[in-house]
């Protein structure tokens, strides 16, 4: 692939958007390659995924403005649909996804990190939804996910004003979980991924599902869903192993995803 790379490191995998000449902007080809990478990942052998951008300036500086500039209504809607489909795949991807935001996360780039489970960033990261200044709305889920993550008031402020915010502000409003020096960012993402990978994968995936799907329904339905996913874990070998290790006062555990 030309613009997206994939590396596996044990139970952790890293996807890198690699189009540095355009600050990793998302054109149709980048989106297609991202979709193909998700197809190719063997979810049985990956316990946590990290998504980042190549270089130390930009995570993703948005959807490709040059490509979008001549779109018709129909093409605009189709491009939005394509991006939404891929971002939704990422959001519902079975293993958790950590966005390691290493610079600009603007427009579609901000939306890309919003579709990940967890966001951490480098000190030079900049977040924003500049679309209103370009004469469009966010089109890869930004109006929906930003409001759910940082609340509608702050999301509306960011989207209506099209003002970019720096890492510290992103941290203060809960858009990212941590801010690190650029050279430590990937290391921190890997540490977090390892912390996830050490736990029982069926349980972790059920937690992801319970949180994501529970937020879309009322509390009665949400707790009923949690009960099912909780019940699902019993009789797995990993539940036996996790509880046995506790009772035996044993720190080392082997989770087989069975």
Query: Which residues are marked as active site?
Result: 111, 131
Select the residue interacting with ligand CO8 from 108, 176, 189, 208 (CB under 6 A): 108
Q: How many CA atoms lie within 13 A of 29 on its CB side?
A: 9
Say which residues have a Cβ less than 8 Å from residue 225's Cβ, sequence separation at least 6: 210, 213, 214, 217
In the chain, the N- to C-terminal Cα span, in Å, equals 33
Question: Helix, strand or coil for residue 227?
Answer: helix
Say which residues have a Cβ less than 8 Å from residue 93's Cβ, sequence separation at least 6: 38, 43, 49
Residue 141, interface with ligand CO8 (CB under 6 A)? Answer: no
Q: Return the DSSP state at 22.
A: G
The size of the interface with ligand CO8 (CB under 6 A), counted in residues, is 23
Q: Phi, psi at residue 158, to the nearest 5°?
A: -60, -40
Residue 192, interface with ligand CO8 (CB under 6 A)? Answer: no
Q: Which of residues 203-242 bind ligand CO8 (CB under 6 A)?
A: none
Q: How far is the CB of 151 from ligand CO8 (least distance, A)?
A: 21
Q: How far is the CB of 100 from ligand CO8 (least distance, A)?
A: 18
Question: Helix, strand or coil for residue 84?
Answer: helix
Q: Are 255 and 236 in contact (CB under 8 A)?
A: no
Select the residue interacting with ligand CO8 from 38, 65, 149, 245 (CB under 6 A): 65
Residue 139, interface with ligand CO8 (CB under 6 A)? Answer: yes
17-25, 114-122, 214-222, 240-248 -> range binding ligand CO8 (CB under 6 A)? 17-25
Q: Which residues of 42-51 are buried (b: 16+ CB within 10 A; e: fewer)?
A: eeeebbbbbb
Determine the Cα–Cα distance for residues 46 and 168; give it in Å rounded to an integer: 31
Residue 17, interface with ligand CO8 (CB under 6 A)? Answer: no
Q: Which of 28, 172, 170, 193 is nearest to 101 (CA)?
A: 170
Select the residue interacting with ligand CO8 from 80, 95, 96, 201 (CB under 6 A): 80
C-beta atoms surrounding 60 within 10 Å: 30
Of 5 and 84, the one with the shorter C-beta distance to ligand CO8 is 84
Select the residue interacting with ligand CO8 from 11, 14, 15, 22 (CB under 6 A): 22
Q: How far is the CB of 146 from ligand CO8 (least distance, A)?
A: 12
Q: How far is the CB of 201 from ligand CO8 (least distance, A)?
A: 33
Q: How far is the CB of 150 from ligand CO8 (least distance, A)?
A: 18
Widest Cα–Cα separation across the chain: 65
Select the residue interacting with ligand CO8 from 25, 48, 101, 170 (CB under 6 A): 25
Select the residue interacting with ligand CO8 from 15, 49, 62, 176 (CB under 6 A): 62
Residue 96, interface with ligand CO8 (CB under 6 A)? Answer: no
Helix H or strand E segment including 179: strand 179-180
Binding site for ligand CO8 (CB under 6 A): 22-23, 25, 61-66, 76, 79-80, 83, 104, 106-108, 130-131, 134, 138-140
């Amino acid at each position: 692939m030309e613009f997206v790379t994939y590396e596996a490191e044990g139970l952790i995998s890293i996807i890198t958007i690699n189009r540095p000449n355009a600050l990793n902007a998302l054109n149709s080809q980048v989106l297609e390659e991202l979709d193909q990478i998700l197809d190719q990942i063997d979810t049985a052998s990956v316990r946590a995924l990290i998504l980042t951008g190549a270089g130390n300036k930009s995570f993703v500086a948005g959807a490709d403005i040059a490509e979008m500039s001549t779109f018709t209504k129909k093409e605009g809607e189709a491009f939005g649909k394509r991006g939404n489909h891929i971002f939704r795949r990422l959001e519902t991807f079975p293993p958790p996804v950590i966005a390691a935001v290493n610079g600009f996360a603007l427009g579609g780039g901000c939306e890309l990190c919003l579709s990940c489970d967890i966001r951490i960033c480098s000190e030079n990261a900049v977040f924003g939804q500049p679309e209103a200044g370009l004469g469009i709305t966010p089109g890869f889920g930004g109006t929906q996910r930003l409001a759910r993550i940082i609340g509608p008031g702050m999301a509306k402020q960011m989207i209506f004003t099209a003002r970019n915010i720096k890492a510290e502000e992103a941290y203060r409003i809960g858009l990212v979980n941590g801010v690190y020096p650029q050279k430590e960012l990937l290391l921190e993402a890997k540490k977090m991924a390892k912390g996830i990978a050490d736990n029982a994968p069926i349980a972790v995936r059920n937690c992801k599902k319970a949180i994501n799907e529970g937020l879309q329904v009322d509390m009665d339905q949400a707790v009923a869903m949690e009960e099912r996913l909780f019940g699902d874990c019993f009789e797995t070998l990993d539940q036996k192993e996790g509880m046995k290790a506790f009772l035996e006062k044993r720190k080392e555990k082997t989770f087989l995803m069975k």
